Amino acid sequence: MAWFRKAKTPKAVRGLPARSPVPEGLWVRCEECREVLFARELERSLRVCPKCGHHFRLDAPERIRLLLDEAGARELFASVRPTDPLRFRDTRPYADRLHAYQEAVGVPDAVQVLEGTLAGIPVVLAVMDYRFMGGSMGSVVGEKITRAAEHAAEKHRPLVVVSASGGARMQEGILSLMQMAKISGALARLRERRVPYLSVLTDPTTGGVTASFAMLGDLNIAEPGALIGFAGPRVIEQTIRQSLPEGFQRSEFLLEHGFLDLVVPRPELKETLARCLRLLSAA
């Protein structure tokens, strides 16, 4: 009955943010309008607040269920796993941090790639998962999205990438930055092969992810109210030493300034993507 199957509840790990802004239980308070909502009703409405339309964040499995047809989906490149190339250590070793997130979230890194159909249209879909280290992009995210683009080019299947990321992963240093170049090279190939690429930007998409593949869709499509930008709001506030205007760096702001093609509410997202893909692949 519920549109979403319940996501697996992760084990609690010290020092990790809660996996979801929605606490367990029957009732949930909307982050935006503070309205108390029936949790089951929120799930049924695809985690869009029925009162104010606020879009709660989706994790990768929820996003995949939203977009892909149930039959015939197959995960790709699942064996690509992170390593610790710099033997990086801040207040805690990166290797430990990776392990803790893998335990807590139940996935190896911050992106999943699948091959399947979207409203009957064969696609390659990459979905970022903000729960895993803030969706940060290190070598694994870079490699898997690059392979997704290469696979799409080879099979002549449209590529859909759903972004949710704070940007490049500091713990892999310069190698994280290089993923921006690597993915962009693969997208260049996709372009030469005339395979459509739709970029779906969700809350939040910032830093090196926005400044590479998220802004390079043949069409850039965002969910309402998503934070999208290059620099994070706090960095900008520190630079200019004043607070930012209401709605700054939100989807609607980017639409107004010419950087998005569409802002699409979640219930219409799948059908909108399908329509775009049908029209782009008609020739």
First-last CA distance in the chain: 39
* 101-120 binders of another protein (CB under 8 A): none
Peptide bond into 23 cis (omega under 30): no
Type of residue numbered 220: N
Which of 1, 258, 282, 283 lies at the binding interface for another protein (CB under 8 A)? 258
Provide CB contacts within 8 A for 152, sequence distance 6+.
123, 124, 158, 159, 190, 195, 197
From residue 128 to residue 167, the character string flagging contacts with another protein as x (rule: CB under 8 A) and all else as - is ----------xxx-xx--x---------------------
Strand stretches in 96-247, DSSP E: 111-118, 121-128, 159-165, 197-205, 219-222
**Are the beta carbons of 207 and 227 closer than 8 angstroms?**
no
Sheet holding 121-128, edge to edge: 74-76, 111-118, 121-128, 159-165, 197-205, 219-222, 262-263
Binding residues for another protein restricted to 205-234, rule: CB under 8 A: 207-208, 210-216, 228-231
Length of the chain: 283
According to CB under 8 A, which residues from 39 to 98 bind another protein? Answer: 79-83, 85-86, 88-91
Q: Which is nearer to another protein, 244 or 279 (CB)?
A: 244
CB of 57 to another protein, least distance (A): 20
Which of 168, 198, 226, 264 forms a contact with another protein (CB under 8 A)?
168
Q: Is 236 in the site for another protein (CB under 8 A)?
A: yes
By the criterion CB under 8 A, which residues form the site for another protein? 79-83, 85-86, 88-91, 138-140, 142-143, 146, 168-182, 184-189, 191-192, 207-208, 210-216, 228-231, 235-236, 239-240, 244-245, 248-249, 257-259
